[in-house]
Structures are given as structure tokens and as C-alpha cells.
Amino acid sequence: MLKPWLRTLVATAALLFTAVVAGYADNHSQNARTADVGFIEIDQDITLRRMIVHNPSPKGTVLFLHGFPETLYVWKDISIALGDEYEVHSFDWPGYGKSSRPAVEKFSYAPKSYADVLKAYIEKAGIDQLHLTIYATDIGALPALLLALDEPSIAKSIIVGDFAPFNRPAYMFESLQNLKAEPAASKTRAYMNKTSAEILANAYRRDLPKEQQFDLKVDVNYDMIRSWGHGDLTSADAFYYYYSNFTRDQEYFEAKLDKLRTPVKVIWGERDFYIEKEMGREFAAKTGAKFDVLPGVGHYPHLQIPEQTIREVRASFR
């Protein structure tokens, strides 16, 4: 018969072994999950590059929508982490990444046009809207909300942040203000194309204290750089065209705000250099949405503190 102290030692060792095995299994499972990158045709002019992390028995679906100057690769690690419970989708907006970049005569790159692309993607991908959370940031947020005006059941919930829902130039960085009207808009477009290397190197950490600055993952940075000039339009060109219709679509959205029925949560970086948090505060107050400000965080919370994005998505399903 084992002595009491020996029984305790054996029991402790068994518990430690179980914990190690469980931890290994969890890490192995996460490493085994892959992000499948491919293409899906939306119409004769638009083909989207997309990324999916599959789950054989998902508790729901997550759809990530990127901002400027990003591509779908900003969601890769977050998507793989969430793949333990959900099916996770993301795609490059037209004009970004490896998605189509048709001439502006065929596609306007306006927020409303992006809303139409989003609707088509959800339908063609066969996504279950009853169990869908859309997480959208920067230029991706207004299209999701415009779609929700017309189709409140487009998603179970929408998480948005660090964007400009209303026409409030005073809340925006000077170069963004300049994009809203000519002749400053064309000059800003030319300057952005001329300084693309600097934008891609520093846009996500600009104005953050040195101790809070961070580097992008190599694959994320590489994809943004090589995709900037993919096709006949640069990402700055697409951004310019988006802004040429931005004021119109912002004012439409605000006028129809009482039609917004889809549950929305608003998240904002306290140190957002491009769009002041007062913009998010006003939007949340007008819609009754919960508004969270992230201390010490800039315009790209999902890049700076991706674990927070993962927690927000999981919470949306509870």
C-alpha cells in the first residue's frame, strides 16, 4: 500500500501529465488548422481573393473585412485561432490584395458598391446569416452597415471600429479630409502613390509611443507590398475612388440611421491617429450600441492587440 505522501506525488504527477497532454493536443490542433486561400467570382467584373479557415462542426461563422492599406492576410493568425470553434472568412476588397481592379467606369469603389459586393459574397459563399458575426474596420465598416440598413438579418451581429460613419471631416486626419473633395483629392492621391513605401511601412504604427509600436508579420507585410500595384489600379487609387463617393454614402447612412436594426458593437483605439474616437462615440450614442475604447491602442487594434479581437468575436456568439 502506498504511503500518503507517495499517493500525493503520484496524483500530482498524473495531473501534470494530463495538463501537458491537453496543452499539446490544443497546440497541435491549432497548428493543424490551415487558412485556405482561393478565389470566388462575384460577377463578370469582380473576382475576389478569399481566405477560409474551415471547421467541421462550427458554432457559427465569422467574416472579417479589412481596411486601408490592408489585405486579407491581416486576419490570418486571428482566423486560425478562431478556427477551433468557427468557420472564418475574409476577402480582399476590389482594389486591394489580389482581388479584381476593374476600371472605375465598371465599378465605382464606393462604400455602397462595396456593400453590394459584401452581399454577393455572403450569398455565393453560402454563409448562414443567422449565425454570422461580421467584424469590420476602417473602409470595411460603412459597407457592412449600409447593407444592414436594407437587410437587418444579414448577420447575427456586427462589430465595427475606427471608421467614419458620418460626414465629420473635423474628426479626421488632414489627408483624409483632403480626399473628400477636389482639387485636394487628386493631389493627395498622387502623393499617396508616390509615398506608398512609407505608407506601407508606417501607417499602422504612426503616432504610437515607441514602446507601443509593433512590426507586421512578414507574410502580412509582404502581401501588402506586392499587392499595392496589382492590376491597373493601385490601392491608393481604389482608396481615392472610395472617398470620391464617401460623403454621399455617409450622408445617406446618417439619414437612414433609424432603419439600423442589426445588433452592433463599436470598438475604438484610444490613440487612433486617423479618426478621432469622438466619431465612434457619436455613432454609438445615436444607435444605442455599446462603445469600448481600447487604452493605448491606435487605428489598427486587430494588428496591435489581436487577442482582443479574438475575445470580441467569441463574446459576440455568447
pLDDT in tens, 258-300: 999 999 999 999 999 999 999 999 999 999 999 999 999 999 9
Query: How many percent of the chain have pLDDT more than 70?
Result: 90
**Assigned domain for 280 exists:** yes
**Assigned domain for 62 exists:** yes
**Assigned domain for 301 exists:** yes
Q: Please state, in angstroms and rounded to a whole number, the distance separating the CA atoms of residues 60 and 314.
A: 10
CATH number, domain with residue 121: 3.40.50.1820
Phi, psi of 76 (to 5 degrees): -60, -55
CA-closest candidate to residue 234, choices 115, 136, 108, 97:
97
The model's confidence at residue 32, banded by pLDDT at 50, 70 and 90, is low
Residues facing residue 132 across a β-bridge: 61
Strands 157-161 and 87-91: unpaired
pLDDT at 4 over 90: no
DSSP-assigned letters across all residues of the chain: ---HHHHHHHHHHHHHHHHHHHHHHHHHHHHH---EEEEEE-SSS-EEEEEEE--SS-S-EEEEE--TT--GGGGHHHHHHHTTTSEEEEEPPTTSTTS----TTT----HHHHHHHHHHHHHHTT--GGGEEEEEEGGGHHHHHHHHHH-GGG-SEEEEESS--S--GGGB-HHHHHTTSTTHHHHHHHHHHHTHHHHHHHTTTTT--GGG-----HHHHHHHHHHTT-TTS-HHHHHHHHHHTHHHHHHHHHHTGGG--S-EEEEEETT-SSB-HHHHHHHHHHHT-EEEEETT--S-HHHH-HHHHHHHHHHHT-
pTM of the model: 0.90
**Assigned domain for 2 exists:** no
**Assigned domain for 29 exists:** no
pLDDT in tens, 43-58: 999 999 999 999 999 9
pLDDT in tens, 161-209: 999 999 999 999 999 999 999 999 999 999 999 999 999 999 999 999 9
Structure confidence at residue 2 (pLDDT):
43
Structure confidence at residue 19 (pLDDT):
37
Count of the separate structural domains present in the chain: 1
pLDDT at 227 over 70: yes
pLDDT at 12 over 90: no
**Assigned domain for 241 exists:** yes
**Assigned domain for 11 exists:** no
Mean pLDDT score, 236-247: 98
Q: Measured at the alpha carbon of residue 237, what is the angle toward residues 234 and 238, in degrees to the nearest 5?
A: 95
More confident residue, 32 or 308: 308
**Assigned domain for 207 exists:** yes
CA 300 remoteness from chain centre:
9
Structure confidence at residue 33 (pLDDT):
85
pLDDT in tens, 79-119: 999 999 999 999 999 999 999 999 999 999 999 999 999 99
Q: Compute the chain's Rg from CA coordinates.
A: 21
Average pLDDT value for the chain:
91
Structure confidence at residue 23 (pLDDT):
40
Query: Half-sphere exposure (CA, 13 Å, Cβ side) for 294?
Result: 22
Residue-number span of the structural domain to which 45 is assigned: 36-316
Structure confidence at residue 30 (pLDDT):
47
